Amino acid sequence: MVPSEPLISQLQSSPAGLEQWLLTPPGQYVMGWERPHIDRAVNDVFGYHAVQLGLPGLDLLAESRMPCRWRVSPQPLANALPTGGNPAHCGVVVADFHELPFDSQSIDLVVVPHLLEVAENPHQVLREIDRVLIPEGRVLVAGLNPFSLWGLRQGLHQGIRRRVQPVWPVGAKPLGVPRLRDLFTLLSFEVERGRFGCYRWPSVQAHRLERGAFMEKAGDRWWPMCGAAYLLGAVKRTRKMTLIGPRWKQTGLSALPSPAPAQPSSQVASQSRQSPHDRQKSDGHHLR
């Protein structure tokens, strides 16, 4: 799957770095799989404010229904306003990913496309996401899976650089899904959904990637967790405090002894029919 011409033109207007890798055949293949899934995911989230961290040259929030959509970039971009967006509510914010310029608990959705692989401190980026998200806010992370054929080839490239060409961005440090789940748990996130994809044989040539199209269905069925890319969504859970009041001492009427149980009416009637001599005799018998 190859991205459309508007997608490639947007990438060409982005700064150098990860966006340049997306112009290569492996990058186009990965983004071609991720883009439809991201569009469907952001379309199902409701709210008012959405933020995209990473790949500012791509508008991955185009299908979102939220009125305010922002993309964070470390440097300004030319002509980066989303199609049909309002300059007062949509655009690019120049800021550091480790210190986001948003109020605490003010964002409903955060999309993180391949930022954690190239960030200096991925844990700090996730802490900032946790800070700006509202309770029950959602985060969607797109990443590269190191436990895949692509990760194996990348490892061979680091060991034998002259013979094996890299299929991932140079210097990228992908986070596996188990590691990302642990970081989410530390920040009180609950993983809601996840999906793996891109099962074709790793190659830097487009025609070889096309020949491996038959591996998509086989990989999705037989080795689903070994896809080259993944999408992982999580929800921010906030634990509420339940106040427990003091246990008051029983005073007043509640402290008085309870009255004796009433006698049945038949027993009372039988006692009333007894003569005084029989009642005295019965009481004496009980006293013995």
Please report the sign of the dihedral spanned by the C-alpha atoms of residue 159, residue 224, residue 7, residue 91: negative
Tokens of 135: 């309770």
Q: In which residue are the tokens 């990348």 written?
A: 154
Tokens of 177: 């899904």
Share of residues in the chain with pLDDT > 90 (%)? 43
Range name among 17-31, 112-126, 175-189 with the lowest pLDDT average? 17-31
Contacts 24+ apart (CB under 8 A), 36-41: 37/195, 37/197, 37/231, 38/111, 38/113, 38/140, 38/142, 38/231, 39/63, 41/140, 41/193, 41/231, 41/233
**What is the mean pLDDT of the segment spanning 244-260?**
63
Res. 212: pLDDT tops 80: yes
Residue 64's alpha-carbon distances to 67, 105, 147, in angstroms, are: 8, 19, 31
Say which residues have a Cβ less than 8 Å from residue 286's Cβ, sequence separation at least 6.
Answer: none
Q: Three-state SS for 91? A: strand
Say which residues have a Cβ less than 8 Å from residue 245's Cβ, sequence separation at least 6.
Answer: none
Per-residue pLDDT tens over the stretch 82-109: 444 454 467 889 999 999 999 999 999 9
Res. 179: pLDDT tops 70: yes
Per-residue pLDDT tens over the stretch 96-151: 999 999 999 999 999 999 999 988 899 999 999 999 999 999 999 999 999 988 88
What's the mean pLDDT when you consider all of the chain? Answer: 80
Stated pTM of the model: 0.74
